[in-house]
């Protein structure tokens, strides 16, 4: 029935949902390619500690991010660092698409 049966819509929707939260995107961005302690994320984003932990858990359980303990700190990093490229591509597509609309 659908022309795009070659990919799993529900799985795609779940990942998209996780990436549809500005605070989560900010957290991902603030991590960048390096592993970063939670406190640094808190400082970079200005979000509350609880809130950052809340979002990190969601992304961790989705396999987007992983956290490893180093002494008293827990360092979080992207599970697959190409995620940032994916976001960038998406953003680029939005710009291009918008340009097309006004052409």
Task: Report the interface residues with a copy of itself, using CB under 8 A.
Answer: 1-17, 19-22, 25-26, 29-30, 32-33, 44-45, 63, 79-80, 82-84, 86-94, 96-98, 100-101
**What is the H or E stretch that residue 45 is in?**
helix 38-45
Task: Choose one: 3-11, 66-74, 84-92, 94-102; the region binding DNA (CB under 7 A).
Answer: 66-74
**Residue 65, Cβ neighbours under 10 Å: how many?**
23
The minimum distance between CB 1 and a copy of itself, in angstroms, equals 5
């Amino acid at each position: 029935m659908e022309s795009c049966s070659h990919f799993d819509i529900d799985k795609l929707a779940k990942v998209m949902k996780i990436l549809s939260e500005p605070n989560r995107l900010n957290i991902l961005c603030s991590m960048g390619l390096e592993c970063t302690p939670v406190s640094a994320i808190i400082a970079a984003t200005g979000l509350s500690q609880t809130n950052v932990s809340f979002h990190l858990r969601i992304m961790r359980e989705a396999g987007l991010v992983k956290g490893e303990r180093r002494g008293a700190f827990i360092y979080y990093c992207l599970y697959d660092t190409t995620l940032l490229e994916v976001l960038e591509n998406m953003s680029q597509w939005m710009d291009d698409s918008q340009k097309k609309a006004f052409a």
